[in-house]
Amino acid sequence: MLNYIGYRVLQLIPLLIAISIIVFFIIQLPPGDFLDTYIQQLEMSGTDVDEGTILNLQKQYGLDQPFIMQYLIWMKNMLLEGDLGRSFQWNQPVSEVIGDRLMLTMVISVISLIFVWIVAIPIGIYSATHQYSILDYVFTFIGFIGLAVPGFLIALVVLYVVFVNTGVSITGLFSPEYVDAPWSMAKVLDMLPRLVLPVVVIGMSGTAGLIRVMRGMLLDELSKQYVITARAKGVEEGRLLYKYPVRMAINPLISTIGWTLPALISGEAIVSIVLNTPTTGPILLRALMFQDMYLAGSFLLIVSVLTVLGTLLSDILLAWLDPRIRFGGVAD
């Protein structure tokens, strides 16, 4: 098992390097570097541009050097000093801008993932064991809608319906009195009911997808001969179902975390903009609008790295559940 984990972790290193190169390339894409924009901004606000500060910044980020050197300096600053670059829009280091928001994004994504499972697995089992029943059709239909309708549209419609019926605007994650308050138990309790909407909306399409996967897998398993044999031998139906086929059918669910998690984080980015939650989505959009590329790039990098780690966790979980992978994976 340790062998397997070590092997998977080693595999990650080139992947992470490749991701960081892509992100740095995106940071560099807009014409001009961030200092140009920074100077321009200072001039616009009427502040004197201090030559020394500019030179300092230029040196710090190696802006006078070729792409590869700039990349290496960026990586060095990031890994050794935890310096992700500067957001000129906020005039703060990126790490200070991101902090809390990133945590909330992760909290929402993980809760959404759990929500997806809690909803999708029982429905998937029901649909497979009651194939072609009315409820099966209902779930299939809802699943189709969930897959087809993007989260941000669902969010818009929900906002509208709630506002028209109650006059309450359910955007944001905190009541006004807690927005700027430091973290406390009361603040968390205040947040919990407001988390429901983003979690449900973000989890919608993932749930729809997983129901279909779960139903398909379980149907495949149920038609296998060992199930027929067990049934012929008189194994009780509920026990038979949960002991073998459901276990088998759940495996792929765990292996699909690798793509469910990026999809959830993706969905979160856009739903959070509509719902105006204090997560990474709205700030990413604003950073992109102003081409505040260090800020935007850092988001992309961190979110991607967290996704990769999530995938790693799912692989380890799967290996723990399924010995075939644990022993087959290394030899592969």
Our finding on whether 228 is near another protein (CB under 8 A) is: no
Our finding on whether 172 is near another protein (CB under 8 A) is: no
Minimum CB distance to another protein, residue 237 (Å): 26
Question: Which of residues 112, 207, 304, 314 is near another protein by CB under 8 A?
Answer: 304
The count of residues interacting with another protein (CB under 8 A) is 51
Minimum CB distance to another protein, residue 232 (Å): 21
- C-alpha to C-alpha distance for 48 and 46, rounded to whole angstroms: 6
Our finding on whether 274 is near another protein (CB under 8 A) is: yes
Structural contact between residues 297 and 24, judged by C-beta atoms closer than 8 angstroms: yes
Our finding on whether 137 is near another protein (CB under 8 A) is: no
Question: Which of residues 293, 318, 319, 325 is near another protein by CB under 8 A?
Answer: 293
Question: Which of residues 5, 54, 78, 156 is near another protein by CB under 8 A?
Answer: 156
Region of residue 64 (left: phi > 0; alpha: psi -120 to 50; beta: else): alpha
Q: Which is nearer to another protein, 61 or 304 (CB)?
A: 304
Residues in contact with 39: Cβ distance below 8 Å, sequence separation at least 6, in sequence order: 49, 54
Q: Which is nearer to another protein, 241 or 283 (CB)?
A: 283
Q: Which is nearer to another protein, 244 or 266 (CB)?
A: 266
Our finding on whether 29 is near another protein (CB under 8 A) is: yes
Q: Smallest Cα–Cα separation from 175: which of 165, 188, 160?
A: 188
* Chain centroid, CA 214 distance in Å: 21
Our finding on whether 316 is near another protein (CB under 8 A) is: no
Minimum CB distance to another protein, residue 156 (Å): 6
Q: Which stretch binds another protein (CB under 8 A): 79-87, 246-254, 299-307, 319-327?
A: 299-307
Binding mask 231-270 for another protein (x = CB under 8 A): ---------------------------xx--xx-xxx-xx
Binding mask 31-70 for another protein (x = CB under 8 A): x---------------------------------------
Minimum CB distance to another protein, residue 143 (Å): 10
Our finding on whether 88 is near another protein (CB under 8 A) is: no
Q: What 3 state SS string does the chain have?
A: CHHHHHHHHHHHHHHHHHHHHHHHHHHHCCCCCHHHHHHHHHHHCCCCCCHHHHHHHHHHCCCCCCHHHHHHHHHHHHHHHCCCCEECCCCEEHHHHHHHHHHHHHHHHHHHHHHHHHHHHHHHHHHHHCCCCHHHHHHHHHHHHHHHCCHHHHHHHHHHHHHHHHCCCCCCCCCHHHCCCCCCHHHHHHHHHHHHHHHHHHHHHHHHHHHHHHHHHHHHHHCCHHHHHHHHCCCCHHHHHHHCHHHHHHHHHHHCHHHHHHHHHHHHHHHHHHHCCCCHHHHHHHHHHCCCHHHHHHHHHHHHHHHHHHHHHHHHHHHHHCHHHHHHHHHC
Our finding on whether 155 is near another protein (CB under 8 A) is: no
Q: Which is nearer to another protein, 124 or 262 (CB)?
A: 262
Q: Which residues contact another protein (rule: CB under 8 A)? A: 14-15, 18-19, 22, 26, 29-31, 144-145, 147-150, 152-153, 156-157, 159-160, 163-164, 169, 171, 258-259, 262-263, 265-267, 269-270, 273-274, 284-285, 288-289, 291, 293, 296-297, 299-300, 303-304, 307-308, 311
